[in-house]
Chain A
Amino acid sequence: MKITKNLNGNALNIALEGRLDTTTAPELENEIKNSLEGVAELTMDFSKLDYISSAGLRVLLSAHKIMANRGGMKVTHVNEIVNEVFDVTGFADILNIE
Chain B
Amino acid sequence: MTELTVQAIVDSIPKVTEFIDAQLEALDCAMRPQMQIDVAIDELFANIAHYAYGDETGEVTVRFDFDPSDRMASITFVDNGMPFDPLKKVDPDVTLSAEEREIGGLGIFLVKKTMDNMTYRYEDGRNVLTIYKHI
Contact = CB atoms under 8 A, between A and B. Distances in A.
A binds B: yes
Interface stretch (B72-80, B107-115, B123-131): B107-115
Interface of A is mostly: helix
B13 interface: yes
A93 interface: yes
Interface in B93-108: 94-99, 101, 103, 106-107
Interface of B is mostly: helix
Given A22-B46, A88-B113, A94 B35 contact: no
Contacts of B110: 53-54, 85, 88-89
A21 B39 contact: yes
Interface stretch (A5-13, A34-42, A57-65): A57-65
Interface residues of B, number: 27
A61 B97 CA distance: 10
B114 A23 contact: no
A58 B11 contact: no
Contacts of A3: none
Contact of B98 (A50, A89, A94): A94
Interface in A42-98: 50-55, 57-58, 61, 64-65, 68, 80-81, 84-85, 88-90, 93-94
Interface of B: 10-11, 13-14, 32, 35-36, 38-39, 42-43, 45-46, 94-99, 101, 103, 106-107, 109-110, 113-114
Interface of A: 19, 21-23, 50-55, 57-58, 61, 64-65, 68, 80-81, 84-85, 88-90, 93-94
